Structure 1
């Protein structure tokens, strides 16, 4: 089911609850904190909040806080006037100016340095700012949405995130459920990705084979929706059958036979790929995505393990929070 909420797709009870929360939160012009694991689609939820709100005709400005250099946070948000510093050769608007009238989405808000957190708290309490090198305060009208895949309550206890800022951002809180808790949605999403990615890469629209559906339902998806999308993409680009079947994943002998791997060489290659991927996933889960610790257990050099992860398109960050230790 794909509805008006910015392409959000799902039929599970968990998805229905999230959709209801988004529809209600979109009505009220207040900050919203969106929490959930890596790859769950927090950015999609943010866009749904914006485009289902009264600000839909105004800008939606996403910002990756993790990519903001600490020394440039104020400049990025406030902008600057010509001559504010050596290389300021022209007036440059900041994010608040660009997003004026619309929505500012702060992804990975936990990455903001404490100085930046203090600045954001002041902006939430008093909607005015002064561009660097400017002589007067400028008012703005922006709704702030924020997202994080970290345990912000724990970060507050550790002194790494301001409790008063968390209180303001979580005036309305949304929890985006992991894919493993969205019963029935994984196959539906995979079918959607097949269609959209086939159009993007000008490939034939291939249906999912029954073995692929079975594998999708049984996989834990530590990287959530993003991992599923990457899996479909690899299958479309590198699969050589009329139907999309498992590639590089946990493949049973029956799957191999059904996929047409009749030669010893093909069967052996797929079995090795299956072993490598399963081993790497379990290894990274045990160590919560820490490549250094995982490499030590595997008896490999860190760079060699990183290359192996890259070969199988496994993102170490998607395993954070899954450590068995």
Structure 2
């Protein structure tokens, strides 16, 4: 399919650009065309794709290009919610409903009313949480924890996962009926390695944003660097690509950014190769899956924190901005791993 065969106008391309969805290759233009179609409807959407491919950006585009654009888009990462708190987070609770319920609280379905609720890492929901979500999707009705009232919400649910839900259903780890409810409309985000022709326009967009966000002079990516970047596999996809560019942008002093073999290898690459700064690959091979996953998270957090502190010369405020976290939350992580910011100044 040629780009000329698709009904993506220059104006719509500009809207996608603002939503950090940049690309002109045929495969990605087909994705944009599908997003345009999905935005016209109100049914649930399941977005699938590898980590870092831009699933949340796609969800935002579906929301902001549709009829619900003037209402809230509320994202939530299902992996971060404790099983016993899911119903309270989604549907709210009455005062005294449980030990820490000191006051009545509205749930996220109320916050998102009229708009869209984005459920990321939907595969991480426990069986109990899956059942609660299924009931809501079936009727759009819910009952706050501790309340006898049944309420209704007008919310479009968009879910995302980097897991193979069909396979999880086959292994009885994800409810089949919930899968069908979520998978009314679906979208698959392609990995960066399948759209390397888009890397120039993605880099241009990112560098412009870096210049605005960090109030630094505009910088360009050299052609030699672009060619080198296009030769890499990018297992972390656009997110890894963005982090690599940001690191080089912040450390660069000239008008052009030069990226070579000494810059690209990162935590993602070392994990794929079976090793990391702390030897995680060797240790994980002797652990259970859950223990290995927990250890990988610890190794990643330590590696990431040290790297971002080095880039920012110990500036916690700037580091928090890069990480997309609250300053206090990042400070707690630094304290957790005994990382002294003064060492990087």
TM-score, with normalisation over the residues of structure 2?
Answer: 0.76
Of 6, 14, 35 in structure 2, the residue corresponding to residue 3 of structure 1 is 14
Of 242, 249, 254 in structure 2, the residue corresponding to residue 229 of structure 1 is 242
Matched with 1:210 is 223
C-alpha distance in 2 between matches for 1:192 and 1:225: 12
Matched with 2:321 is none
C-alpha distance in 1 between matches for 2:79 and 2:25: 32
Asked which structure has the greater RCO (Cα within 8 Å, sep 6+), the reply is 1
Matched with 2:183 is 170
- The alpha-carbon deviation at position 240 of structure 1 amounts to 2.8
Runs in 1 of length 4+ with deviation above 4 angstroms? 280-283, 286-289, 302-313
- The alpha-carbon deviation at position 283 of structure 1 amounts to 4.7
Structure 1 pair 214/107, CA: closer, same or farther in 2 (3 Å)?
A: same
Tell me, yes or no, if the aligned pair for 2:38 and 2:62 is still in contact at 8 Å.
Answer: yes
User: Are 2:53 and 1:40 equivalent residues in the alignment?
Assistant: yes
Structure 1 pair 197/282, CA: closer, same or farther in 2 (3 Å)?
A: closer
Instruction: Structure 2: state its 5+ residue gaps.
Output: 1-9, 286-294, 309-345
Matched with 2:281 is 294
- The alpha-carbon deviation at position 56 of structure 1 amounts to 0.7
C-alpha distance in 2 between matches for 1:159 and 1:98: 32
Structure 1 pair 305/71, CA: closer, same or farther in 2 (3 Å)?
A: closer
Tell me, yes or no, if the aligned pair for 1:187 and 1:217 is still in contact at 8 Å.
Answer: no
TM-score, with normalisation over the residues of structure 1?
Answer: 0.80
1:310-321 matches, cutoff 5 A:
none
C-alpha distance in 1 between matches for 2:303 and 2:68: 45
User: Are 2:114 and 1:101 equivalent residues in the alignment?
Assistant: yes
C-alpha distance in 2 between matches for 1:233 and 1:200: 11
Higher alpha-carbon deviation: 9-18 or 127-136: 127-136
C-alpha distance in 2 between matches for 1:93 and 1:225: 35
Matched with 2:335 is none
How many equivalent pairs are there? 283
Tell me, yes or no, if the aligned pair for 2:235 and 2:269 is still in contact at 8 Å.
Answer: no
Structure 1 pair 84/206, CA: closer, same or farther in 2 (3 Å)?
A: same
1:14-33 matches, cutoff 5 A:
14-33=27-46
C-alpha distance in 2 between matches for 1:62 and 1:297: 31
Instruction: Structure 1: state its 5+ residue gaps.
Output: 251-269, 314-325
Larger radius of gyration: 1
Structure 1 pair 297/41, CA: closer, same or farther in 2 (3 Å)?
A: closer
Structure 1 pair 100/36, CA: closer, same or farther in 2 (3 Å)?
A: same
Tell me, yes or no, if the aligned pair for 2:46 and 2:183 is still in contact at 8 Å.
Answer: yes
Higher alpha-carbon deviation: 303-312 or 208-217: 303-312
Matched with 2:311 is none
Higher alpha-carbon deviation: 76-85 or 221-230: 76-85
C-alpha distance in 2 between matches for 1:218 and 1:190: 15
1:1-325 matches, cutoff 5 A:
2-5=13-16, 6-246=19-259, 249-250=260-261, 277=265, 283-287=270-274, 294-296=281-283
